[in-house]
Amino acid sequence: MSAPVDALGAFLSRRSAVCGPSALFWQLLLGFVCAGYAVGAALGWGSRQLSLFMGDFGLSAAALVAAVSCFLYARAVGSRFRPAWLLFSFSSLMAAGGNAVWGWYEVVLGREVPTPSLADVLFLCFAPPAIVGLLVLAKRPVTRAGWVCLALDAWLIGGSLLTLSWSLALAHTAHLVDAEGASVARAALSLAYPLLDIVLVSMVLALHFRRVGADRSAVNTAVAALAVTVLSDALFTSPLLRQNYHSGQLLDAGWFAGSLLLAYAPWGANRAADNAVPREEPQSASRPVAGSLAALTPYLAAAVCTLGILYNVIEGRRVDRVVVLTGCAVVLALVVRQGIMLVDNIALTQELAQKENHFRSLVQGSSDVIMIAAPTGVLRYVSPAAAGVYGRDADELVGAELSSIIHPDDLGRVVHEVRRFLAAPPGEEPTTRIECRFRSGTGDWLNVESTVNRHQGGLILNSRDVTERVRLQAQLQHNAEHDPLTDLPNRALFTKRVRQALGGRRAGDQGTAVLFIDLDGFKSVNDRLGHQTGDELLVQAAHRLHESVRSGDTAARLGGDEFAAIILGDGTRDQAARECQVHEIADRLRVTLSQPYRIGVGDVRVAASIGVAFAEPGISPSDLMRNADLAMYRAKAGGKNRVELYAPQMQAEVVRRSELSARLRTALRDGEFALLHQPVVHLASGTVAAVAAQARWRSAQGILFTPAEFLRVAEDSDRTAELGRWLLEEAVAQAAERARAGHPAPVAVRLPARRLLDKGLPFSSVEALLTRHGLPSGALMIEVADSDPRISFDELEQRLVALRRLGVRIALDGFGSGYAAINALRRLPIDVLKLDRGLVEGVVESARLHKITSGLLRIACDLGMQSVADGVDLPEQVHALRAMGCTHGQGMAFSGPLDEYRLRRALARGEFPVPGTGTGRPVLTGGSTRSGGSHVETTVPPT
């Protein structure tokens, strides 16, 4: 841990200021121009006239450039520093005017500049705007004492400079002017220049340590420009230089450079700062040194003042009254300032102590643990909260390595994060968050979340115990990926495991297999024994499944009674052997899941249908799971309680069924359905007692589908309901037309029981349908199909009673099949009992079926019901059924399904030959026939 922390100083100490190529160009150009002017001034410009011109109008042009530059910048920016740059512009404009007047006399008029003149007035107006501009740029004191200290600092600096300057030069200048008998104006001008320069220098020095942070580079450059100008003024006021000065000398180069530097300050300096790499302000020695110089300013000023007095004493001169008075004022200002600072220091000390106590109370009372680590990684401070959070005393942790309390598995990640954090710029990422495990006092590992900040080359860690949160998150993650009832992985996690099995190093292993498992008979367990028993069965089945797979495999519950398992490949190259092996595993699993389940005081039995699909190169997880699902449904369709391997033709069958289902949705709209009728014949006389309506679908491709075929794909309940409405309305309409044509015959329409309970088909709509087409209610018979255990017999009974009150006759279709047949016969209002074709087909060959059928017919006779045998295709069946007391028959022994034209011919004839009383050949079969029942493919002739 110490290695990354040691690098903190290196990261924080890296400082670079890279200026862009544009800023570098302007800086080089500025230096080149100033150097060229200095060289020209040093060489005398080649002629007296050019020297005077460059010394006057050259300086005027430079000052004018500075004035325009500062003015344009003041208009371009909208900050509170605009007045400062306007004042700098005005100050430079005064300097430009003064030099222009000076040049007018020397160059244009060719004579010396009079004293005093307009140039002197303009030069004197240079310093005051610059001084006020510096005040605007300075950081304003926030208290009254701050303003007093600022004024005292300025006086201390100015007074010390005045003392020193008066001792060195100004006293001599004053005596010289007095000796020459000059006027008061000239004497004032002689002393005004140096005094204003002293004030300007005092403001520059006093405000140097009070600069604001904004536009710092521009302010520094402007202060440097004014410093160069003041330095040139100071040299100009010295008696030695002033006596021999003329325009165009080397001294003019200082004023020229100061003006151009001021012109460059707002634009070039800011551009250089913008192009520089963003960096944090240095925290090293520059700030302490700056603060020390600011604190030493009063003492330095007093020292300068003392040196001025000592200079006069050492030289044996009489101490000038100006020096004495100024020195006394400086000392008095120093005493006052120290008194103010003493009071401020006392107040600051009290405030600091109060804040320190407040901070200590916050740290010690915080529930979070605050730790400070040195750059070496050693803990220098640990708050008392460590005893409650970590179970370890703070004193015990102080001096320990931070890495010693971090879990070894997390240490590498923590070191990497600390290094990344220290390498990032502090301005962009002031803090980071690290979560790792800390060792507690009991030796356990606690999940700790720490907010990390930089602190004096080290780190501050604000840590809190998040163990319970981590446990809760892990529990929530577990709940999101596992089934709440069985605790097996759910579909989401199972899909993730399948994706992992198909990727990585197992990507080419085709021995990986997915098993889809469905519990056969589980729904009946729920219906008979309740959902609590069903849930217990699912829990036991999940436990058996989990115990049956290997540790590397995954068993999951996908929902309801559907489970799945993934069997990872073992690298076997023999695919046939692998398929046989997985098939054996799936079969053993089927046997295991089919064993009785001990629930409560009894045993519950269910079976298992399992579909198996093997991985193929490039197959996706969803496709592999879909293949296993298809194989499982094939196993259920093949008789249940079996194992089925996926084959590509299964997908082709699904595609075919999907396409057929899609075409079925538009078949009714496009008029592709036709209605056929099969006569129901009285077995004793051969007369037609009724006709059974049957739907046929001729697709656009010319394929004719029987109800058994197209209803198998009509899984959409909306399509089934729409087909049922069409069948009922079309049958009633055609029956009414036949009755009006003189062929009255009741029509039987087969409807599922769940369709009868559909709210979209109330009995009032049946009554309205009969009324609209003018068909007597007794001419309609509803054949109640199937006995879905989900159907409520109470609701079905009420529905059938309502229909029967209308006069509609009720037939129980498919009697003899299904567990609820007797219950339906007992509770429902039935007029006609229609035997299932499964009984009729074996009534001649099977003595057992003969007895069952005979018993059912006796029940119908005893209950006063008519009986209809469905699927009577052979003469022998007619003989047997008539002998057992069956009253009516329907099948190929008499006629196949007929279209409307042939049906009317049959009704006009009135009867069919009954086998045994005449020829046994079926008549009016509607074209080519095939043995096997009434639901076979039949050619539908055009009507």
Query: What's the pLDDT tens digit per position in 753-768?
Result: 877 777 666 656 888 8
What span, in angstroms and rounded, lies between the C-alpha atoms of 564 and 518?
9
Residue 694 pairs in a beta bridge with: 676
Query: What is the reported pLDDT for 488?
Result: 93
Q: Indicate the DSSP class of residue 931.
A: S
Instruction: Give the pTM.
Output: 0.48
Query: Would you state the structure tokens that stand for residue 533, as one six-digit string?
Result: 């028993």
**Average of per-residue pLDDT across 150-175:** 58
pLDDT at 3 over 50: no
- How many helices (H) does the chain have, and how many strands (E)? 36, 21
**Is-contact 507 574, C-beta < 8 A?**
no
Most confident of 69-83, 509-523, 776-790: 509-523
Lowest mean pLDDT among 23-27, 285-289, 323-327: 285-289
pLDDT grade for 709, boundaries at 50, 70 and 90: low
| Average pLDDT of span 521-525 | 86
Residue 325 or 763, more confident: 325
Bridge partners for 680 per DSSP:
690
Q: Contacts by 172-180 with C-beta closer than 8 Å and gap 24+?
A: 172/239, 173/237, 173/239, 176/239
Residue 509 pLDDT grade (very low, low, confident, very high; cuts 50, 70, 90) = low
Examine the pLDDT at 389 and tell me if it is beyond 90: no
For residue 652, the tally of other CB atoms under 10 A from its CB is 10
Nearest to 380 by CA among 400, 366, 362: 400
Q: What share of the chain in percent tops pLDDT 70?
A: 72
What is the model's pLDDT at position 195? 54
pLDDT of residue 688: 93
Residue 906: C-alpha distances to residues 151, 900, 913 (Å): 129, 10, 12
Instruction: Please report, rounded to a whole number, the percentage of residues in the chain having pLDDT higher than 90.
Output: 15
Task: Estimate to the nearest angstrom the gap between the alpha carbon of 599 and the chain centroid.
Answer: 47
Q: How confident is the model at residue 500 (pLDDT cuts 50, 70, 90)?
A: confident
- Taking only the tens place, the pLDDT of each residue in 204-232 is 555 554 555 556 677 778 777 877 877 77
Helix (H, G, I), strand (E, B) or coil at 380: strand
Burial zone of 559 (CB within 10 Å; 0-12 exposed, 13-18 middle, 19+ buried): exposed
The whole-number pLDDT of residue 525 equals 86
Rg (CA), the chain: 55
Q: How far is CA 171 from CA 231, 311, 437, in A?
A: 19, 13, 78
How deeply is 359 buried, as exposed, middle or buried, from its count of CB atoms within 10 A (0-12, 13-18, 19+)? Answer: exposed
Q: Which pLDDT score is estimated for 317?
A: 60
Torsion of CA 404, 410, 415, 417, to 10 degrees: -140
Which of 20-34, 310-324, 526-540, 659-673 holds the top average pLDDT? 526-540
Give the ranges where 366-466 is alpha helix by DSSP (H).
386-389, 394-397, 408-423
Contact status, residue 192 vs residue 58, Cβ threshold 8 Å: no
Report the pLDDT value the prediction gives residue 693, as an integer from 0 to 100. Answer: 92
Query: So what's the pLDDT on residue 557?
Result: 93
**Residue 193 tokens, joined:** 């220049």
Crossing angle of the two packed helices 252-264 and 59-76, in degrees rounded to 10: 20
Instruction: Name the more confident of 796 and 12.
Output: 796
